[in-house]
């Protein structure tokens, strides 16, 4: 029972272009969403988050969009840089506590 899904296992994008990563969830009790970036042999690094009371949050090159009615969120990276090549996980938590439910990850490759 995957409550958080990232349907694209990989994404390849040219340097300078936009990377769009997608995430779908099924549990309507989730009210906080996060994106993490993970390099090989390192732990996930927190990138950006969004509360369910918002539909957009922006931090530098990273923007997260939330569509509650569709139970869908996306992460936009503009412009993409080679250092952005990593695995990106979306995660969700509910009001009951901090437990994070992770998606399966999307591997991003930014080509110079």
Partner 1 sequence: DAMVIQNPRYQVTQFGKPVTLSCSQTLNHNVMYWYQQKSSQAPKLLFHYYDKDFNNEADTPDNFQSRRPNTSFCFLDIRSPGLGDAAMYLCATSREMGQGAREQYFGPGTRLTVT
Q: Three-state SS for 70?
A: coil
Q: Is 35 in the site for partner 1 (CB under 8 A)?
A: no
Cβ at position 17, least distance to partner 1 in Å:
26
92 beta partners: 33, 101
Other C-beta atoms lying within 10 Å of the C-beta of residue 104? 15
Cβ at position 45, least distance to partner 1 in Å:
7
Q: Which one, 74 or 79, has the nearer CB to partner 1?
A: 74
Selection from 28, 11, 29 nearest residue 20 by Cα: 11
Q: x-or-dash pattern for partner 1, window 1-20, by CB under 8 A? A: ---x----------------
Cα 85 versus chain centre, distance: 14
Q: Which one, 70 or 96, has the nearer CB to partner 1?
A: 96
Q: Is the dihedral of CA 27, 28, 29, 34 positive or negative?
A: positive
Q: How many residues bind partner 1 (CB under 8 A)?
A: 22
Contact pick of 8, 11, 20, 32 for partner 1 (by CB under 8 A): 32
């Amino acid at each position: 029972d995957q409550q958080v899904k990232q349907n694209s296992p990989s994404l390849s994008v040219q340097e300078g272009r936009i990377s769009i990563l997608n995430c779908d969830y099924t549990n309507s009790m989730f009210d906080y969403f996060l994106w993490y970036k993970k390099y090989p042999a390192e732990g996930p690094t927190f990138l950006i988050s969004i509360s369910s009371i918002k539909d957009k949050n922006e931090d530098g090159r990273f923007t997260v969009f939330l569509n509650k009615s569709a139970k869908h969120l996306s992460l936009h990276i503009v412009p993409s840089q080679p250092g952005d090549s990593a695995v990106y996980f979306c995660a969700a938590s509910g009001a009951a506590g901090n437990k994070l439910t992770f998606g399966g990850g999307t591997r991003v490759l930014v080509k110079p």
